[in-house]
Structure 1
Amino acid sequence: MSQPINAIALLLAHIENTAYEQLPDTTIAACKTFILDSLGVGISGSRVPQVSQLKQAVKQWGQAEQAQVWVTGEWLPAASAAAINGYQIHNQEWDCVHEPAVVHPMAVILSSLMAYGQVHNLSAKQLILGVTLAVDVATLIGQCVTSSLKFFRPSVCGCLGATAGMCAMLGVKGEMLANALGIAYSQISGTMQSHVEGSPMLAMQIGVNAATAIRAVDMARAGLEGPKDILQGPYGYFHLFEDSYDLAPLRDKVGREFQIEQVSHKPFPTGRAGHGTIDGLQRLQRTHGFSAKEVAKIDVYAPPLINKLVGRPVKLGMDASYAKLCNGYIAASGLLKGDVGVTDFSADCLADPDIFTLGAKVDTHLNHVTDPNALAPVRVEVRLISGQQYQIEIADVLGSPQNPLDRQAQLAKFRAACKSAIVPFAEDKIAFLIKRIDQLEQIPNINHLVDALVSNR
């Protein structure tokens, strides 16, 4: 008879026993790819109006100058800087996602690890190791879940991952490492109610948990203790936050497959659940050449999670947070403009009657898939006013590891993101930042990288 799996023990051993020198070249390359992507969307996220409100709030949380806000450069306590940068990464739904885990792994993780790295003058090699292990912890926990989202998995799993990553960067092991994760578990938060309502607080749950992860590590390093059986205990994660789970993915993958290599890009600044719709419509348009004005009806057939996340109807007065998670708005915007970008969720676009009229022609339905965490396949059917009908089935949505963005597309996204910041980056500064990430492992101090994230205008 096989021994029962102790999930937290497996993860603790993985964190303690993995060194930078053990990371494959492919893992380091993937880590650099998604650090670049996440910095780009975090730079772009500075343009969202609620960032200024968040800055006003964090002024009440302390005055220490430990880490910087990306783009604008304010020095703040590390937890406050991480909260703002984490919010900036996720506030436009443009950050990468690990689809099997249903976790946006880099938002909580990169914002907290970068801030903590500034405080402790850590190297970029330490950052790469920390990010790699943090993504493993966050996504391996997520992959074990066999029930649908109730809590906001990107924030709760992201916090546990970020805590592990900071400990890995600092070489924290043994009882202190276990305490840090237990302290983080005691504070993790995030609910799908914000998603249902289309509330801006959805992205702020990322920022809250980035700050929480930093505080958890600080408390553990100060000698405070946390609960230990945080995954399988009677009130551990798998029993309290989820309805059902299977530890096979963790057992089979930990230490064998670094999960940063399984992350998907988001080509479009919308919920990943809407990407199959955009991808399908773009493929059909390229093949058949119809225009938005010719469309009579669009039907999208997708798994339960897609219906749950973006199946909501278009409605008058919707804000950007709602529209980014609305298949009708996403589809209409893409058809009318040929693409979906960050400016397509401006007040003018949200009030555009043409988008509303076309969006009302879109319906999302359940397909044959029963997996509550699946984001594919997606079938898109288009019926034209003429009666002509087209359809396409997509198993691998653009941006996934099976259908990845090529280097040219990755850099195009990064450049567009940097130029859309509240203080747009100049071309030479963008090129310099790309070069810094290409040579990331050579940077001796993360502060040298953050210097390049502050606009010079």
Structure 2
Amino acid sequence: MTHTTDTPPDAAADAPIVDVIVDHVLGARYEDLSDHDLHRARTYLLDTLGVAIAGSRGAAIDALIDTARGWGDGDEATVWVTGERLPATQAAVVNAYQIHCLEYDCVHEAAVVHPMATVLSALMAFCERRAGRGQPVSGRDFLLAMCIGIDVATLMGVAAHGPIRWFRPATAGGFGAVAAMARLEGLDKTGVKDAFGAMYGQTSGTLQPHVEGSPVLGLQIGFNARAAICAIDLARAGFRGPHDVFDGPYGYFRLLEDGAFDLAPIRETLGREWQVSRLSHKPFPSGRLTHGVVDALMRLTAAHGFAPEDVASVKGTAPPLVTRLVGRPDIPNPEPNYAKLCLRFVAGAWLARGKVDVPEFSDPEVLADPRIHDFAARVEVETDDNPSQSALAPQWWQVTLTDGTIHEIDLPHVYGHPMAALTDDENLAKFRRCVGWGRAPMAGDAADALIAAVAAAETLDDAGALARMTVIPGARD
């Protein structure tokens, strides 16, 4: 797909990168999206709503909602599932947290970004606020804006080449959310740049909560979703922001990405290839970097028929990002956020229970299960020689059985990647599991209605209606 921008093709290589991004925000058209792109957009829209409904039982969610209510009164947007009405900024914080708190939301692997968590939480609250002001956003406009936001957030991640230091789903995600809303707000080029500048002044999110297993990890996505809405409001009011925020002397890539970046992927890809079709599903509610070992164990047991009790050891090699972020030691009685980011625990859970899903990370008795930890002690992972600091694959895994038999597997792509994607039926099955795991189960007819609405999202007169369809009566009782 291509679209016309204000930057001539022969000047694109020399244009400031902020102009390249702004031209995409303002120049992309709904007609540029292929049928495949639109199908993937609807797929990940449904998936994200589903994981958010499951996330309504996330750690300290009641405390977060009550605290957010105290930040200011307003009736602009819906807290998904429980139905409280809050200012759009506060609703975005809560909903972003619900999307990411279970580590179940989709990811762009090359970017190391979960774009939907930040983009959708801000965008949906923004759409509800516009509807309340008599300016509802159509489904077509919503889908286009969402895809624009995904493009910006993910290609910022792709352009970064160094070891991830800040929490990129929050930091890059905030710029994606601004891009999506700026398109709908009708800002001109200067206004979009002002909004990006206001976003950069608020950008936040480190990896320290990831290391410690703190639920603040997901909350950082909410902080940037809120910041994105504030940035749009400031730009609409004419508040001037800095413009050279991406590659300026103190810009995003030089500070947050430590100067290790290459802007060519942004220049070459924006307007040519929609990144929504490059997203990966999360088939398991754990860090995406833990999924390779589960995929390998699933494939090897299916092929060779051995039982978990037959496993003497599991050994693998994976790119540096895997070992650095999820190669952490297994510990007794881990907190949920630590366990789902521990490759050894996740592998042990699959061997001990035959599945890895929401209950494996929400029940204290399961988290302390000695059988899981016994299996976890049999798992080792080492760093391979992959030069990329963002790669998830390829991976190699070896299972040695108690009788000495050895089984090996190479994984060029991990289950959930576009080259090893979930089927439509698997996506629907995941959604139905998720809506049954919220703080109150969603009724079957309500789930069917939400599925149907997303399937026909482009026909909606008010995209914000999707937020209200997540509400489950009695969920906060």
Instruction: Identify unmatched segments of 5+ residues in structure 2.
Output: 1-9, 132-136
Q: Which among 256, 278, 287 is matched to residue 303 of structure 2?
A: 287
Q: What secondary structure does 2:398 align onto?
A: strand
**8 A Cα contact 1:443 1:449, kept in partner:** no
1:200 corresponding residue in structure 2: 215
**8 A Cα contact 1:282 1:338, kept in partner:** no
The amino acid across from 2:16 in the alignment is N
Q: Which among 444, 451, 454 is matched to residue 468 of structure 2?
A: 451
TM-score by length of 2: 0.94
1:169 corresponding residue in structure 2: 184
Q: What secondary structure does 1:393 align onto?
A: strand
TM-score by length of 1: 0.98
**8 A Cα contact 1:117 1:123, kept in partner:** no
1:311 corresponding residue in structure 2: 327
CA deviation string 1:83-116 (max 9, x = no partner): 0000000001000000011100100000000000
The amino acid across from 2:465 in the alignment is H
CA distance in 2, matches of 1:175, 1:368: 44
CA distance in 1, matches of 2:106, 2:179: 20
Q: Which among 148, 165, 168 is matched to residue 150 of structure 1?
A: 165
**8 A Cα contact 1:5 1:251, kept in partner:** no
Give the percent of matched residue pairs that are identical in Structure 1 and Structure 2.
42
1:113 corresponding residue in structure 2: 123
User: Per-residue deviation at 1:5?
Assistant: 5.1
Q: Which among 267, 288, 292 is matched to residue 272 of structure 1?
A: 288
Q: Which among 47, 50, 54 is matched to residue 60 of structure 2?
A: 50
User: Per-residue deviation at 1:396?
Assistant: 1.1
CA deviation string 1:317-347 (max 9, x = no partner): 3110000010111001112222210000121
2:248 corresponding residue in structure 1: 233
CA distance in 2, matches of 1:173, 1:51: 38
Is residue 381 from structure 1 mapped to residue 398 from structure 2 by the alignment? yes
CA distance in 1, matches of 2:304, 2:63: 46
CA distance in 2, matches of 1:161, 1:455: 29
Q: What secondary structure does 1:402 align onto?
A: helix
CA deviation string 1:385-440 (max 9, x = no partner): 11111111101111111111000100000000001000110111111111110011
CA distance in 1, matches of 2:323, 2:16: 34
CA distance in 1, matches of 2:230, 2:407: 53
Cα RMSD between the aligned structures? 1.3
User: Per-residue deviation at 1:21?
Assistant: 3.2
CA distance in 2, matches of 1:112, 1:362: 39
Is residue 370 from structure 1 mapped to residue 370 from structure 2 by the alignment? no
1:172-187 correspondence to structure 2 within 5 Å: 172-187=187-202
Q: Which among 121, 124, 138 is matched to residue 153 of structure 2?
A: 138
The amino acid across from 2:153 in the alignment is A
CA deviation string 1:363-384 (max 9, x = no partner): 1101121211100011111111
Is residue 63 from structure 1 mapped to residue 73 from structure 2 by the alignment? yes
The amino acid across from 2:425 in the alignment is Q
CA distance in 2, matches of 1:292, 1:313: 21
CA deviation string 1:300-330 (max 9, x = no partner): 2100000011101110131100000101110
**8 A Cα contact 1:314 1:359, kept in partner:** yes
Q: Which among 316, 322, 340 is matched to residue 300 of structure 1?
A: 316
Aligned length: 457
2:31 corresponding residue in structure 1: 21
CA distance in 1, matches of 2:471, 2:439: 11
The amino acid across from 2:237 in the alignment is A
